[in-house]
Amino acid sequence: MHRAIALFLATVLFTLALAAAASAKEKYQHPAPTRLTRDGEKWAEKTLRKLTLEEKVGQVFMIWCRASFLNVENPEYLQLRDAMQKYHVGSFAMTVHVDGPYLLRSEPYEAAELLNRLQSDSKLPLLFAADFERGVSMRLLGTTVFPHAMAFGAVGKEEDAETFGRISGEESRAIGIHWNFFPDADVNSNPANPIINTRSFGEDSKQVGDLIAAYIRGAHEAGMLVTAKHFPGHGDTATDSHLGVAAVNGDRAHLDSIELPPFRRAIEAGVDSVMVAHVTVPALDSDPNHVATTSPAIVTGLLQQQLGFQGIVVTDALDMAGLTHLFANDIGRAAVEAFKAGNDLLLIPADFGASYDAMLQAVRSGEISPERLDRSVLKLLKAKASLGLNKARLVDVNELDTLVGKPENLAFGQQVADDAVTLVRDNGKVLPLISPPKTNGTAKAALPYTTVEEIHNRLLAVVFSDDVRTDSGRAFARELRARVPDADVMYVDPRVAAGMSDQVLKAVDQAQTVIAAVYVVPSAGKVGNSVSMPDATATLLEQLLDSAGQKTAVIAMGNPYLAASFPKVENYICTFSNASVSEVSAVKALFGEIAIRGHLPVSIPEVAARGAGIERPARVVSGGSQHAQN
């Protein structure tokens, strides 16, 4: 009898354990290629029927969520929770806090915990998106670091772009991000473009389209939604739309041959969403009060009807000056006009409360039909179901240490940066640099703040950046000094360049070899935005080249068009990126430790055409001497 009872209890406990395990398994997301099942479709349709008008309007908005640790009573967290309860917001765009020039990147665990908590507090599953143009490392530490998109263009391998998409997708889904606002489908045909530049894969429409399609394949394999941006093309502009109105002035034939093909390719590849830019396009809509975001002719007529895109149409951020100047007296109308133009998701409104109220009023008055609203809400609900969020909305933070920052993924990011290095000019007098022979004894520790007189090897690196307080040049300097411990590194920015010019030029005169590392990359919303060097640093670089051009190698750590402003450059290297992996690659290339085999994905006016690149084999150290290896 007792044995039978014991056996019964054991069976019950085993059954309960299995049920608990199954419940735990269902609790967490298990990313897989997105697929809308019939059950998911039914859930979306049933959910739509249950929503109130107020809830439906909330579903078409996406607002910021800044990843950091937040106490449940923290006012910032209470604002997020209030947005879900009061405005029924259906999605968040994850970013991090900034402090002046500093991006305060967070940790994966902090981000995942916050997103899980928001999911738990929300009535409906939330969509989380992010701008992970260079992978998750743009916002979070400890993740795989990739160079800018243009570096992939310099390498030109579709398989690399596919792997890029897959790894980005795996790491994004691991922390709870479902949707990436990438790839960038802009064709950077304007060298003066201040906001696209290295964010684009290049200037050739076909190559851009091929790399985009490859990225989409990889991202979809990992279960991540992706976005082609900035429709109908932001590559041939000379204004940052965060600050003002950018114009695309090409005629329809030009648009059809340059701007639009990558978007067509993305649609063919199954891209989930298209982001519309705040740019004027007279060839498509002559109304001076319309930017693409608020143009029915562009969003509904061109994108949806002519190109046949049926996925989610998302606005660029509604708080950008390229749009807000049109609605300065009634900021909520920006959301209404964008929605009426054909957008489904309204991203980052300048005034969320006013925008929500304006949308609500527009539906109640009949300006926006209930059917039109339902169509967009259903798209978003189906996207959630395709991700499996109707079944499990949380991520397992205990799996982060196995899914994020895998050594093989880190190595891949570094390899792409290595392969992208492109040698544009070489006078044969500087490269490759030779490291001093290593001694058997313990090297004397280098003293901080050493003066020029204390430098023995006479290798000087001058790091030009927007702000000497940022990380620009730090990884570069560490790698340089790992090979030449007494190398002198000087940091200059526009505020100190004039005052340091005598000191810098004196060091240049005494050095045997000079490296000028120039950090210029596109930066959204920077006052006076430009990808040209500011006058003060440009003047100093010009003086440097005037006095020591033959012994100087200039490295463009970002904007490859830099050389067009400095025709005296005799040795010129492009990395197309300021990411830490690109800094490491630059130093490896300087010392001949890697083969140089990148080719320009853009043309540099009066310097080099697209496809140019001087290939150099790696050099192998053997028996105290260095020799080439193909």
Q: Is pLDDT above 90 for 19?
A: no
Q: Are 127 and 90 in contact (CB under 8 A)?
A: yes
Predicted pLDDT at 528 = 43
Q: Is pLDDT above 50 for 83?
A: yes
More confident residue, 373 or 289: 373
Mean of pLDDT values over 443-466: 66
HSE toward the beta carbon, residue 566, CA cutoff 13 A:
30
Domains 22-409 and 421-629 share a fold: no
Predicted pLDDT at 620 = 66
What are the extents of the domains in the chain? 22-409, 421-629
| Separation in Å, CA 142 to CA 69, 102, 109, 516 | 16, 17, 10, 29
Name the pLDDT band for 623 (thresholds 50, 70, 90): very low
Mean of pLDDT values over 55-71: 97
Q: Which of the listed CATH numbers 1.10.8.60, 3.40.366.10, 3.90.1150.10, 3.20.20.300 matches domain 22-409?
A: 3.20.20.300
Q: Are 182 and 131 in contact (CB under 8 A)?
A: yes
Q: Is pLDDT above 90 for 590?
A: yes
Name the pLDDT band for 162 (thresholds 50, 70, 90): very high
Task: Render 375-396 in DSSP notation, one character per residue.
Answer: HHHHHHHHHHHHTTTTT--B--
Distance, CA of 41 to CA of 382 (rounded, Å): 6
Element (H, E) at 445: none
Distance, CA of 9 to CA of 444 (rounded, Å): 71
- Identify which of 612, 463, 494 has the alpha carbon closest to the alpha carbon of residue 154: 612
Q: Are 513 and 548 in contact (CB under 8 A)?
A: no
The mean pLDDT of the chain is 90
506 C-beta neighbours (distance < 10 Å), count: 11
Per residue in 515-540, pLDDT (tens digit) is: 999 999 876 544 444 567 888 999 99
Predicted pLDDT at 455 = 47
Q: Is pLDDT above 60 for 601?
A: yes
Predicted pLDDT at 452 = 41
HSE toward the beta carbon, residue 308, CA cutoff 13 A:
7
Q: Is pLDDT above 60 for 196?
A: yes
Longest CA–CA span in the chain (Å) reads: 100
Name the pLDDT band for 438 (thresholds 50, 70, 90): low
Query: How is residue 24 annotated by DSSP?
Result: H
Distance, CA of 153 to CA of 175 (rounded, Å): 28
Token reading at 237: 């502009």
* Main-chain phi, psi angles of 596, to 5 degrees: -100, 115
478 C-beta neighbours (distance < 10 Å), count: 14
Query: How is residue 298 annotated by DSSP?
Result: I
Identify which of 284-288, 382-386, 447-451 has the greatest average pLDDT.
382-386
Per residue in 3-16, pLDDT (tens digit) is: 555 545 444 444 44
Predicted pLDDT at 4 = 54
Per residue in 100-131, pLDDT (tens digit) is: 777 899 999 999 999 999 999 999 999 999 99
Predicted pLDDT at 442 = 46
Per residue in 332-356, pLDDT (tens digit) is: 999 999 999 999 999 999 999 999 9
Name the pLDDT band for 181 (thresholds 50, 70, 90): very high
Token reading at 74: 């923290």
Predicted pLDDT at 521 = 87
Neighbour-count burial of 592, counting CB atoms closer than 10 A to its CB (0-12 exposed, 13-18 middle, 19+ buried) = buried
Distance, CA of 358 to CA of 339 (rounded, Å): 11
Q: How many helices (DSSP H) and strands (DSSP E) are in the chain?
A: 21, 20
Q: Are 84 and 122 in contact (CB under 8 A)?
A: yes
Predicted pLDDT at 18 = 36
Name the pLDDT band for 26 (thresholds 50, 70, 90): low
Distance, CA of 200 to CA of 276 (rounded, Å): 16
Per residue in 210-266, pLDDT (tens digit) is: 999 999 999 999 999 999 999 999 888 765 455 557 888 999 999 999 999 999 999
Mean of pLDDT values over 618-622: 71
Q: Are 533 and 464 in contact (CB under 8 A)?
A: yes
Q: Are 175 and 400 in contact (CB under 8 A)?
A: yes
Q: Which of the listed CATH numbers 1.10.10.10, 3.10.129.10, 3.40.50.150, 3.40.50.1700 matches domain 421-629?
A: 3.40.50.1700
Token reading at 617: 């084999």
Identify which of 7-21, 23-37, 245-259, 477-491 has the greatest average pLDDT.
477-491
Distance, CA of 473 to CA of 515 (rounded, Å): 12
* Main-chain phi, psi angles of 366, to 5 degrees: 90, 0
Mean of pLDDT values over 363-383: 98
161 C-beta neighbours (distance < 10 Å), count: 27
- Cis omega (within 30 of 0) for bond into 432: yes
List, by residue number, the catalytic residues.
316
